[in-house]
Amino acid sequence: MNKVGFFKSIQFKIVLIYALLILLAMQLIGVYFTDRVKTITLDSFEKSLESQSQLIAWNVGEAIREAKETNNDDSNHVTDQIQNQLLELDSNIREIQVIDPNMVIIAADEKHQSAVGKRTTNRLIIQNLSSKVTNKYRFTDKKNGERVDVVTTPIQVDSMHYGTLYVEKSFESVYSQLQQINQILASATVFALLVTATLGFFLARTITRPLVQMQHQVLAVSQGNFTRKVKMSEPDEIGQLAMSFNNMTMKLREANATTESERRKLKSVLTYMTDGVVATDRKGNVILMNNRAEQLLNVYRHDVTGNSILDLLKIRKEHRIMDLYELEDSLVLDFSTDDETILLRANFSVVKKDNGLANGLIAVIHDVTEQEQVDMERREFVANVSHELRTPLTTMKSYLEALQDGAVEDAALATKFLGVTQRETERMIRLVNDLLQLSRLDSKNHNLRLERTNYIEFCGSIIDRFEMSKKQNIEFVRYFPKGSFFVQVDRDKLTQVIDNIISNAIKYSPEGGMITFRITRRGRNIRTMISDQGVGIPKENLPKIFNRFYRVDRARSRKLGGTGLGLAIAKEMIEALGGEIWAESDWNRGTTIHFVLPLDRRDL
């Protein structure tokens, strides 16, 4: 989180607003105060000038009246009397003149003595010479810009109008006083602003300090630290906010702990699930998948996150995202390659918000390769059993119908037909017995009777028996190691295994061929290899020869009397004895069956 500068902080804003409010208040007060002072002062100045003018005019009138009473009409004497009245004047009076009815200036202030005895040319004096009331004027001197008040006052002598008193007084001193007052107000405003800013700073700091602590608390909470607390200094609104914030932090810590616990549980469940799980957003883009989904789909979650689930499951051509929201049945996905068959089943469920709107999909993916293969093998097994049983039954039915139709009368033909029927019956018995034996092996009902057996002597006796009963010109070659090797086996079942393998080798070996029986020790196991010189098995068919009812050459196998279950039974029995069996073959060069059995632990 970036640090907030002082000029962008709440503290500065509070101080600024507080100072602006004080400034506005001081300005409003100053404007009103200054205006009122100016008005009152100017009014007082005018009234004072008017009163002073009237007093001077009365004194001048009295001086003229006294001169007349003393019968002294000498103009110089009158002028001297009037001049004496003008000596004690205010220094702010710029000009004062006494004008008689003939517009002659009979007295003036010291600065304008030269105008005494002359006729006045002042427009205001001429205008108000005969006026019997006091007139006031205000103007600005164009020469020096001085503001001036002018008063013309009539002079009365025994109720008779004698002339006019002209007084001109500057009121710049008034404006100087007003300017001083304004300066005092400005200084007071600046001082008030400084005091306000200082007080506002401390006030704002008092308010913003817990807010700054809350800011730090929010930053800590966002980083996962729920241990910090905001200090409550005062039980006011901010203190209540701090307490509420601390309570919220505590609840967030509890909620986060619960969420984290649930997340760990969910992660553990998803990690160890045997099924793949893929979650998408509302648009069908992948947002989550577990390890099993990665394994089943052969992808990395970082490579497919954000991609459409249609592309991930390779179903874009057949479906749209909206189809998956409405899909009720599962989908079978074919991810098979040239080397491996992979079949997956995907079930989809819709994730909804609290308001019921769809918010995404959850796809659960199962590996059904083995199940599908089992179902396919089961269907093939049923078909094969039906076919294997139908063939001898059809043959038997045909010969029995022939006997019923009169062939029984021909002794030679009847004997032949009965012989065929007997062979087919025996074949059916062998098939049923093999099926029953496989059924017992599938149900793990092995009923093994383990015996400590000298393996070399055991295999030698079986070969001796075949050599004595063989009908073909076939040579048996033995490669046995010296000494004795003991194994824990069920002698009957192992005899059946070796009989099946040797019988197959004899069936497919040519006249004058050779069957090789080789035994070697490999660590804790003993390995047996039975090889023939028959036509061999094509490489593409080699992995299937242990499947039930599988024949490389069906016509020849059925002609030789095989059921197609011998090697399947051999595999089940060897694995039941704790061993392993496999085959190697070259086309037209023969086949070798290998099987390994563990040695008796007492001989290790």
Q: What is the CATH number of the domain that holds 318?
A: 3.30.450.20
> In this predicted model, which residue has the larger pLDDT, 79 or 599?
599
Highest mean pLDDT among 53-57, 185-189, 516-520: 516-520
Which of these three, 442, 471, 491, is where a domain ends?
A: 442
Whether residues 32 and 119 share a domain: the answer is yes
Identify the CATH number of the domain in which residue 411 sits.
1.10.287.130
Whether residues 313 and 379 share a domain: the answer is no
Tokens standing for residue 17: 């607003």
Residue 549 placed within a domain:
yes
pLDDT interval class at 1 (50, 70, 90):
very low
pLDDT for the residue numbered 597: 92
For residues 228 and 225, what is the distance between their CA atoms, to the nearest angstrom?
7
pLDDT for the residue numbered 431: 65
Residue 252 placed within a domain:
no
Tokens standing for residue 280: 């998408």
Residue 226 placed within a domain:
no
User: 334: closest CA among 348, 345, 323?
Assistant: 345
Helix (H, G, I), strand (E, B) or coil at 124: helix
CA neighbours closer than 13 Å in the CB half-sphere of residue 525: 13
Report whether 527 contacts 519 (CB < 8 A).
Answer: yes
Whether residues 403 and 490 share a domain: the answer is no
User: 58: closest CA among 130, 131, 126, 158?
Assistant: 158
Which of these three, 367, 395, 415, is where a domain ends?
A: 367
Per-residue model confidence as pLDDT tens digits over 348-372? 888 888 787 888 888 888 888 777 6
pLDDT for the residue numbered 563: 56
Number of domains in the chain: 4
Residue 262 placed within a domain:
no
pLDDT interval class at 313 (50, 70, 90):
confident
Tokens standing for residue 596: 């390994």
Q: What helix, strand, coil percent values describe the chain, rounded to 5? A: 55, 20, 25
b/e map 283-322, b = 16+ CB within 10 Å:
ebbbebbbebbbebbeeebeebeeeebbebbebeeeeebe
User: 587: closest CA among 542, 530, 528, 529?
Assistant: 542
Q: How much is the average pLDDT of 243-252? A: 81
For residues 574 and 38, what is the distance between their CA atoms, to the nearest angstrom?
126
Residue 382 has pLDDT above 70, yes or no: no
Whether residues 349 and 324 share a domain: the answer is yes
**Hunting for tokens 């061929």 — which residue is that?**
513
For residues 79 and 77, what is the distance between their CA atoms, to the nearest angstrom?
5
Whether residues 438 and 544 share a domain: the answer is no
Over the chain, what is the mean pLDDT? Answer: 78
Q: How far is residue 525 from each of residues 287, 409, 479, 595, measured CA to CA in Å? A: 51, 62, 17, 10
Residue 239 has pLDDT above 80, yes or no: no
Residue 132 placed within a domain:
yes
pLDDT for the residue numbered 438: 60
Whether residues 361 and 492 share a domain: the answer is no
pLDDT for the residue numbered 529: 93
Q: How far is residue 165 from each of residues 97, 168, 380, 591, 599, measured CA to CA in Å? A: 6, 10, 146, 157, 155
Residue 377 has pLDDT above 70, yes or no: no
CA neighbours closer than 13 Å in the CB half-sphere of residue 517: 25
Claim: this prediction has a pTM higher than 0.85: no
pLDDT for the residue numbered 530: 92
Q: How far is residue 568 from each of residues 127, 246, 368, 506, 572, measured CA to CA in Å? A: 149, 74, 24, 18, 6
Q: Any idea of the CA torsion for 94, 98, 104, 106, to the nearest 10 degrees?
A: -100
Phi and psi for 156 in degrees, rounded to 5?
-110, 130
User: 96: closest CA among 64, 56, 143?
Assistant: 56
**Which helix or strand (DSSP H or E) is residue 191 part of?**
helix 172-222
User: 594: closest CA among 578, 574, 573, 577?
Assistant: 574
pLDDT for the residue numbered 6: 58
Q: How much is the average pLDDT of 246-275? A: 80
Instruction: Tell me the one-letter amino acid at 354.
Output: D
b/e map 129-165, b = 16+ CB within 10 Å:
beeeebeeeeeeeeeeeeebbbbbbbbbbeeeebbbb
Residue 604 has pLDDT above 80, yes or no: no
For residues 278 and 494, what is the distance between their CA atoms, to the nearest angstrom?
49
pLDDT interval class at 517 (50, 70, 90):
very high
Q: Any idea of the CA torsion for 108, 113, 117, 122, to the nearest 10 degrees?
A: -60
Instruction: Quote the strand ranges of 227-275, DSSP E.
Output: none
List the domain range (segments joined by +) for residue 289.
Answer: 273-367
Whether residues 350 and 429 share a domain: the answer is no
Instruction: Tell me the one-letter amino acid at 169.
Output: K
Whether residues 483 and 546 share a domain: the answer is yes
Whether residues 347 and 388 share a domain: the answer is no
Question: Cβ neighbours of residue 312 under 8 Å, at least 6 residues apart?
Answer: 278, 286, 297, 299, 304
Which string of DSSP letters, residue by residue, matches 368-418? -HHHHHHHHHHHHHHHHHHHHHHHHHHHHHHHHHHHHTTGGGSHHHHHHHH
Phi and psi for 414 in degrees, rounded to 5?
-65, -40
For residues 450 and 454, what is the distance between their CA atoms, to the nearest angstrom?
13
Per-residue model confidence as pLDDT tens digits over 441-469? 565 655 778 889 999 999 999 888 888 87
Residue 518 has pLDDT above 90, yes or no: yes
Q: How much is the average pLDDT of 262-285? A: 82
For residues 11 and 208, what is the distance between their CA atoms, to the nearest angstrom?
6
Whether residues 457 and 586 share a domain: the answer is yes
Report DSSP state, residue 3. P
pLDDT for the residue numbered 128: 79
Helix (H, G, I), strand (E, B) or coil at 204: helix
Q: How far is residue 472 from each of residues 81, 495, 512, measured CA to CA in Å? A: 186, 21, 8
Helix (H, G, I), strand (E, B) or coil at 317: coil
Residue 461 placed within a domain:
yes
Report whether 584 contacts 594 (CB < 8 A).
Answer: yes
Whether residues 30 and 107 share a domain: the answer is yes
pLDDT for the residue numbered 527: 93
Which of these three, 124, 155, 177, is where a domain ends?
A: 177
Please count the other Cβ atoms lying within 10 Å of the Cβ belonging to residue 600: 17
Whether residues 340 and 390 share a domain: the answer is no
Residue 580 placed within a domain:
yes
What residues pair up with 53 in beta bridges, in sequence order? none
Residue 214 placed within a domain:
no
Question: Cβ neighbours of residue 110 under 8 Å, at least 6 residues apart?
Answer: none
